[in-house]
Amino acid sequence: MGLVMLAFVVGGFSANAMVNPQALPPVSATIVVHAASMVLWYSIFVLQAGLVRHGKTLTHTRLGMISIVLAASVVVSGFAIAALGFERTGDSVIALAGFVNITNFAVLYFLALNHRRTPAIHKRLLVFGGIMMMPPALTRVARAAGLDDFAGLPLWIGLVVAVLVYDRVTNRSITWATCLGGAMFVCTLVIVLSFGDSSAWVNFLTALLRDS
């Protein structure tokens, strides 16, 4: 799962940059920090899974400290990117999706740290944390293929379903961490589709940008 998510992040943004260079936002320090933090976080996620697989738990623990710094950077820069995206494009739906998904990541990552001594729960919470941040990469995959942004939704659903199926097949039951991740996914869709273009949300974003 880590390799799949990393491939979507790197491949999606890279392919879109090559196919649609005219649609790229102006390069800024915020974008550079966010992009670097995201790629490094997913890369460390893959490395961490490999370390555990080979029994190198001490190295895994030490590297986890770096992951905390990266996660904090992802959250702070992610909120800034969502706000800047609305300022540049006026797309309130995408902005709400960004805010909600970054919040989901922060919650899941915090829970994963609290359950680091329970590997089965810890890793599922981290997997869902990574999945929650996938929409921007998946929409870039769709754009690079010349499709509508919503064409990335089936890929996002597929990632969630893959974890549910894995739990069911390997454990014959679904852990509470997977249930939580699935519930957050559904709630995200409901919130974004219900309130993304509401006047209250647009007014809030406008006021936020005006006061910042």
Question: What phi, psi does 90 have (nearest 5°)?
Answer: 75, 10
The reported pLDDT for the residue numbered 58 is 85
Name, in order, each residue with C-beta under 8 angstroms of 82's C-beta and a sequence gap of 6 or more. 94, 95, 98, 99, 102
State the pTM of this model: 0.94
The reported pLDDT for the residue numbered 137 is 96
The reported pLDDT for the residue numbered 162 is 96
CA–CA separation, 27 and 8 (whole Å): 21
pLDDT tens digits in sequence order for the chain, 212 residues long:
999 999 999 999 999 999 999 888 888 999 999 999 999 999 999 999 999 888 898 888 888 888 899 999 999 999 999 999 999 999 999 999 999 999 999 999 999 999 999 999 999 999 999 999 999 999 999 999 999 988 999 999 999 999 999 999 998 889 999 999 999 999 999 999 999 999 999 999 999 888 76
The reported pLDDT for the residue numbered 172 is 87
The reported pLDDT for the residue numbered 64 is 86
DSSP type of residue 118: S
- Give the angle subtended at the CA of 201 by the CAs of 196 and 203, to the nearest 5°: 140
The reported pLDDT for the residue numbered 73 is 96
What is the DSSP code string of 115-142?
A: TTTSHHHHHHHHHHHHHHT-HHHHHHHH
